[in-house]
Chain A
Amino acid sequence: MAEARAIMVRTGPRLWLSGSWLILMALAAIFAPVIVPHDPLAQDLMLGKLPPAWISGSEPGYLLGTDSLGRDVLSRLISAARPAFIVAIGAGLAACLLGSALGLLSGFFGGWTDRVISRIVDIWMAFPPVLLSILLVAFFNPSLTSVILAIAIIDWTRFCRVVRAETMQQRRMDYVESARAMGLSRMATLLKEVLPNVLPAITVLLSLEMGIAVIVEAILSYVNLSVSTDQATWGSMIAEGRGIIYQAWWVLLFPMIALFLTVLAFSQFGEGLKERFDPVLR
């Protein structure tokens, strides 16, 4: 009991707050079809541009108002959490796995491995990212998968660079020599000794990347290059809301708040995880 209390005290508010928001969003993403008050796709032009519940002129049941096609903003907001999360996790993990793997190999083995991978990263990073992602998405049929691919293909270099630097720093430490003296194979040394020390950096980067992925998806759906169906996304809601900002500001504001909070929560969650679980910081 005392131990549990101690753990709770040690975990700062950062982890709790960000974790709670993310759990909330995750639940929204998973259970959207069940918990939405209205069908996010249902249009009713009679109920277009209704304000949120606390403002006069609203209709009961449409808590955050409706958009120009009469669709419930709250329902769309909730169901938009799903594509956001799918992209965040998919693109984040893909970029992380590819970039970290190459970064570890390049930083640890050095020599030709490092030279080849570094040159690839240098060349890759020379391409303008936004252009590249638009090209990629336009090339494949716009869908969540193409968005995930586009983000991962560009952002893996960020992981690679940082992980390479961290790995190189750890490689200089005597405990790596010690592992060699023990007789541990080089690959085993990399995975068992060095990786745990690079993991905090990877964790923070991964959470940041998830936040970035959500924003990129929002940008792409703002310019209509994300999912092509009526599936609500925060980006497309913002695009729509921008057009009617003077008549129905709520259509723009709420998805922006949701976007902001989600990106913030991702980055703080990573930092919070590092604080909580890194033995060196205890």
Chain B
Amino acid sequence: MADALFTVEKLHLSLPDMTKKPLLGAAPRIEILKGLSFTLEEGAITGIVGESGSGKTSLGRTLIRLLKPDSGRIVFTGREIGTLSDDDLQPLRRDLQIIFQDPFSSLNPRKTVGAIISAPLALHGLANSRQRVAEALRQVGLPEGFASRYPHELSGGQRQRVGIARAVALKPRFILADEIVSGLDVSSQAQILDLLMTLRAQMNFTMAFISHDLSVVRRLCDRVIVMRQGEIVEDADTAALFDRPQHAYTRLLRDCIPLPEVSHGWLKES
């Protein structure tokens, strides 16, 4: 049993509801995460699955401290990071990387691919940027010449690879993948997931893979956490979760996936 890279206890997060903000005074807060507790094993890929409003995206952002939790503990490599200030977090950021969903907005349109990948390297004082950039590009299967291109010259799948290259360039211990294949075609999706599995084998990072698509996590993830409206509904080993779901909601999510098997009666089943 590997060590837990992340241990989360009774995590609470709320965000202000700006649509209900009164003229004077603070906006009322909506509870997004309602006391979550779980662990992420080192070297494992854990899927965090849920529908819209489940809080999965907020959970991801809170784990890497782009959001500050209201209460609860987040222990990363043995260190409590839930209450750290931005300054104290800075040295840890190297090991907390994120890959975004939207390949169009996650890359600065006015920077070259090389500049985008090397920016975090320079920030954390790593030398040999050019070599590392070339290495990162090679790792994600993009030609070295792409370093001088701009994002709009690349396809969606290629942009997503640049996002991955940016995240792995620092050789982080943890990567958050936030719905990274949700906007992609079936074949691009397969390529990206294949790439992630290869990289994980090579680099042995820990990953949290957020997705609304349960079928995607079956092959990629070692463990799955199912979320619903800010709570964890089920947290199990992937095969067990799919074969013997314990919770009715998990069963519902699984059964709503249309498998590519012809069955016209499926739609009538409730």
Contact = CB atoms under 8 A, between A and B. Distances in A.
A42 interface: no
Contacts of A182: 93, 119-120, 123
A183 B120 CA distance: 8
A177 B109 contact: no
* Size bin of chain A's contact surface: 20 to 34
Interface string B92-127: 011011101110011111110000000110011000
Contacts of A16: none
Contacts of B120: 182-183
Contacts of B66: 177, 180-181
B110 A178 contact: no
Nearest to A280: B109
Nearest to A192: B119
Contacts of A193: 108, 111
B150 A279 contact: yes
Interface string A165-188: 000000011110111111110000
A175 B150 CA distance: 14
Contacts of A279: 109-110, 150
Given A182-B119, A183-B89, 8 more contacts: A174-B102, A178-B166, A181-B97, A183-B120, A183-B123, A197-B109, A197-B110, A279-B150
Contact of A177 (B93, B100, B111, B150): B100
Contacts of A173: 105-106
A196 interface: yes
A202 to B, nearest CB: 13
Nearest to A178: B106
Contact of A181 (B98, B101, B109): B98
B90 interface: yes
Interface residues of B, number: 27
A182 B101 CA distance: 17
Given A181-B97, A182-B123, A174 B106 contact: yes
B123 A175 contact: no
Interface in A264-280: 278-280
A109 B69 CA distance: 21
A184 B166 CA distance: 14
Contacts of A184: 119, 123
A203 B97 CA distance: 34
Interface in A136-182: 172-175, 177-182
Contacts of B89: 183
A-B pairs with lowest CB-CB distance, top 10: A183-B93, A174-B106, A173-B105, A174-B100, A175-B108, A182-B120, A196-B110, A174-B105, A181-B98, A183-B90
